[in-house]
């Protein structure tokens, strides 16, 4: 009877964990234009608390010391992120909204992948308590229950995190977000990667308790396991640095493509105005107008994200947005000024309106001298606009936060070794011995 009551207590704690995580994530995401310390801290503390709550409930083992040490260690990521954040300065962009919009963009372009991962997430939530229950009622000893529960709990938390990686990686590797948002999202992810790296270390030491190499420097000695160290470094690189570098290169390429297109469009308009041909000026301006319209159609037709954003720009469509869409709409509203595609879209729209304005003015003007003066004014405007765009691209096109990225590169192997050592410490402690 006592075993049944203990398992019921475990189920209650598990439901509380799922509910608490949902509430924390919802509040974190809804504060799109704010970044509070308490929100980030809860996302670090909650997995640790429930990891040991699972272990202590089913394994009938409790030690406050090891819980507090684990939470403090997991905050290393928060400390490193805080230092890097200081180098970056105060945020000038709503990076959470930019990330939310980029994640949604990935979802609507990869519907099958999104559905698969949603189904896997649901199955993962169901599978964990089922597996724990089967093992709990068939285990031979309490030590076996403790070890298996630690393995299952760390695997569950890691699995839940891994199921979010496609969205996280899609945001970091997005080609249309601004570099400041990408950098801040990367730093925010670093804070969460440390506790997850700790869970990898815990899982490793429970599944593969191999002997490690002892490295000594004077009176200081630490354990070094090359396999675990490699796993942690690959984890940092593949799910942390690599998507970022892919995103920066893709974004740089997209900005260059749009800069070239802007020059082509403005050259086309200026040529239509200045070219001394017998063809009527109105006809040439209309041709430039059609050229811009074609570029707009090409942009909207080839990108579902742009198509959805244009729909959100329509005041009539906004009135009919569902409550489920409201979060995405809010993300879009805040992220739009920093989306490279919509910066280009606004350029097309502004240039198109200016060309239409020019066409209407010369169509209603009969005085040749006045027409010439108007054409000269607009030609100068488009030439000045081209110069400003090129200067802006030259100044901001290759912006790269090298300083803080170097700090991350240096911190990663150090943190990996700390996680390796601490993971072994916890396992040794739970086995009832003192670490060497």
Q: How many whole angstroms separate alpha carbon 61 and alpha carbon 426?
A: 13
Dist. CA 110–CA 170, nearest whole Å: 11
**Comparing C-alpha atoms, which of 47, 420, 57, 62 is closest to residue 208?**
420
| Contact yes or no for 181/98 (Cβ under 8 A) | yes
DSSP assignment of 282-349, as one string?
HHHHHHHHHHHHHHHHHHHHT-HHHHHHHHHH-HHHHTT--HHHHHHHHHHHHHGGG-HHHHHHHHHH
Nearest 5°: the CA angle 350, 356, 360 is: 145
Q: What share of the chain is helix, strand, coil (3-state, %, to 5)?
A: 80, 0, 15
Beta bridge partners of 214: 223
Strand, helix or coil for residue 213: strand
pLDDT tens series, the chain, 436 aa: 677 888 888 888 888 888 888 887 777 767 766 666 676 677 777 777 777 777 778 777 666 766 777 777 667 767 777 777 666 666 678 888 899 899 999 999 999 988 998 899 999 989 988 988 888 888 777 778 877 887 888 888 888 888 888 888 999 999 999 888 888 888 777 767 777 777 777 777 677 655 554 444 344 344 546 676 677 777 777 877 888 889 988 999 999 988 888 888 888 888 888 765 545 677 777 777 788 888 878 887 778 888 888 888 888 877 777 777 888 888 899 999 999 999 988 988 888 888 888 888 887 777 878 878 888 888 888 889 888 888 877 666 555 554 455 555 555 555 555 555 555 556 565 555 444 4
Identify the DSSP state of 401: -
- 212 φ/ψ angles, rounded to the nearest 5 degrees: -110, 160
DSSP-derived secondary structure letter, 90: S
**pTM for this structure?**
0.79
C-alpha span between 36 and 29 (Å, rounded): 11
Give start and end residues of each alpha helix (H) in 397-434. 402-430
């Amino acid at each position: 009877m006592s075993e049944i009551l203990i398992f019921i207590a475990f189920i209650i704690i598990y439901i509380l964990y799922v509910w608490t995580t949902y509430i924390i994530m919802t509040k974190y995401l809804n504060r799109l234009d704010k970044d509070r310390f308490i929100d980030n801290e809860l996302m670090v503390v909650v997995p640790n608390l429930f990891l040991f709550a699972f272990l202590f409930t089913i394994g009938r083992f409790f030690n406050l010391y090891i819980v507090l040490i684990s939470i403090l260690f997991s905050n290393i990521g928060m400390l490193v992120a805080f230092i890097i954040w200081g180098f970056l300065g105060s945020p000038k962009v709503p990076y959470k909204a930019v990330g939310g919009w980029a994640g949604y963009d990935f979802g609507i372009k990869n519907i099958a992948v999104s559905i698969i991962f949603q189904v896997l997430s649901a199955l993962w939530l169901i599978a964990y308590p089922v597996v724990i229950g089967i093992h709990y009622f068939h285990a031979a000893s309490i030590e076996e229950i403790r070890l298996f529960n630690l393995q299952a709990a760390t695997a569950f938390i890691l699995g839940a995190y891994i199921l979010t990686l496609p969205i996280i990686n899609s945001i970091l590797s997005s080609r249309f977000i601004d570099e400041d948002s990408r950098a801040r999202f990367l730093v925010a992810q670093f804070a969460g990667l440390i506790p997850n790296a700790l869970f990898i270390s815990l899982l490793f030491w429970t599944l593969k308790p191999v002997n490690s190499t002892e490295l000594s420097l004077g009176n200081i000695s630490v354990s070094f396991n090359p396999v675990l160290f490699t796993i942690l470094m690959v984890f940092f690189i593949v799910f942390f640095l690599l998507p970022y570098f892919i995103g920066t290169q893709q974004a740089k390429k997209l900005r260059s493509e749009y800069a070239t297109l802007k020059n082509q469009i403005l050259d086309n308009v200026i040529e239509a105005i200045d070219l001394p041909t017998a063809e009527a000026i109105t006809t040439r301006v209309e041709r430039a107008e059609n050229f811009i319209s074609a570029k707009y159609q090409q942009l909207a037709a080839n990108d579902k994200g742009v198509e959805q954003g244009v729909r959100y720009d329509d005041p009539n469509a906004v009135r009919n947005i569902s409550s489920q869409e409201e979060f995405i709409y809010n993300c879009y509203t805040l992220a739009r000024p920093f989306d490279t595609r919509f910066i280009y879209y606004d350029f097309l729209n502004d240039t198109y309106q200016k060309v239409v304005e020019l066409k209407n003015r010369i169509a209603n003007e009969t005085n040749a001298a006045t027409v010439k003066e108007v054409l000269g004014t607009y030609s100068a405007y488009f030439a000045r606009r081209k110069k400003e765009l090129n200067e802006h691209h030259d100044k901001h096109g290759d912006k790269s936060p090298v300083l803080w990225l170097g700090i991350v590169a240096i911190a990663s192997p150090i943190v990996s070794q700390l996680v390796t050592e601490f993971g072994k410490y916890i396992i040794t402690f739970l086995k009832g011995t003192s670490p060497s």
